[in-house]
Amino acid sequence: MKKNIVIYFISAVIFIFTFFPFYWIIATSFKTPIDIYKVPPAIIPGSITFENYITAFTKNHIDVFMVNSLIVSVPSVFLSTLISVFGAYAASRLAFKGKKVFKAGLVSTQFFPMIVILIPLFMLCRILKLYNSYMALILPYIATQVPISILLLSNYFADIPREMEEAARIDGCSRMQTLMKVILPLAVPGIAATSIYSFVQVWQEYLIASSFISNQSKFTLTVGLSTFQGQHATDWGGLMATAVVIALPALFLFTSAQQYFINNLAGGVKE
């Protein structure tokens, strides 16, 4: 009995520590300014308002940031996954000279700090006249997502039985046909999970997005949060409403595909 109480107490503490911040984001986003700035803070909002969401969209124009985030994320994820599907198939199924170097190169990128390539990328952007354009984000995003996507996808491809491939080859399919008609359909869940992982990464990227874009009309959502911070005061209600808008798709997508990549993620880097 005593043991049970201890267990329930610990689980309650873990639960509160883990989830209170989420409650606070959501609660603050629905609070009136009076409740937000009340001392002591109101744990349960006195009244619920949608005003913060309305100002976020009408005054801070987070709809523009949202569209920008989508314009940047969708092509980045699509192209990096497409490139990675081919790379991963070669890396997991085909024998070729330099395969070890290729794989080692992929793994080593996971150890490189983004900051080490940030400045040359910035110079490259200026030379190619990409500064303040969506391409300034899309190209680096593709390059950073390709290695991890190939590593994740290789694991899925490795699970597809070789017999399927051999049967297709014997039936007269070319290598390309085998890949497109046999392997890819079987790997759809893995491809979906990988693109979800990439999307979550790109959607929340901040370092490149805040360094390569200075024009507010091109801000992505994460950078756009700073528009709620004024010189003297922060509009916490609007900021937290925007936080909900940023976090919801990421959380929803991630939890829907969670079991696919937790182990692969650690495994891919460990090898």
Site residues for another protein, 103-132, by CB under 8 A, read 105-106, 109-124, 126
Q: Are 146 and 79 in contact (CB under 8 A)?
A: no
- Tell which residue, 20, 75, 10, 66, has the closest CA to residue 43: 20
Q: Are 214 and 132 in contact (CB under 8 A)?
A: yes
> Taking the CA atoms of the chain, what radius of gyration do you get in angstroms?
23
Cβ proximity to another protein: between 101 and 185 the closer is 101
Could you say which of 9, 11, 58, 104 contacts another protein (CB under 8 A)?
11
In the chain, helix, strand, coil percent, each to 5? Answer: 75, 0, 20
Could you say which of 5, 18, 172, 230 contacts another protein (CB under 8 A)?
18
**Residue 172: burial class (beta carbons within 10 Å; 0-12, 13-18, 19+):** exposed
- Find the shortest distance in angstroms from Cβ 263 to another protein: 7
- Tell which residue, 238, 227, 255, has the closest CA to residue 31: 238
Q: Are 52 and 237 in contact (CB under 8 A)?
A: yes
Interacting span for another protein (CB under 8 A) from 12-20, 46-54, 156-164, 185-193: 12-20
CA 198, CA 196: separation in Å to the nearest integer? 5
Interacting span for another protein (CB under 8 A) from 4-12, 46-54, 161-169, 181-189: 4-12
Q: Site residues for another protein, window 219-258 (CB under 8 A)?
A: 222, 225, 236, 239-240, 243, 246-247, 250-251, 254-255, 258
Cβ proximity to another protein: between 58 and 177 the closer is 177
Which residues are CB-contacts of 67 (< 8 A; sequence separation ≥ 6)?
Answer: none
- Find the shortest distance in angstroms from Cβ 99 to another protein: 8
Q: Does 87 bind another protein (CB under 8 A)?
A: yes
Site mask, another protein, residues 169-188, x = CB under 8 A? -----xxx------------
Could you say which of 10, 34, 48, 67 contacts another protein (CB under 8 A)?
10
> How many residues touch another protein (CB under 8 A)?
88
- Tell which residue, 154, 186, 187, 181, has the closest CA to residue 168: 181
- Find the shortest distance in angstroms from Cβ 50 to another protein: 20
Q: Are 134 and 202 in contact (CB under 8 A)?
A: no
Cβ proximity to another protein: between 189 and 267 the closer is 267
Q: Site residues for another protein, window 45-64 (CB under 8 A)?
A: none
Cβ proximity to another protein: between 59 and 99 the closer is 99
Could you say which of 5, 44, 47, 96 contacts another protein (CB under 8 A)?
96
Helices (H) and strands (E) in the chain, counts: 14, 0
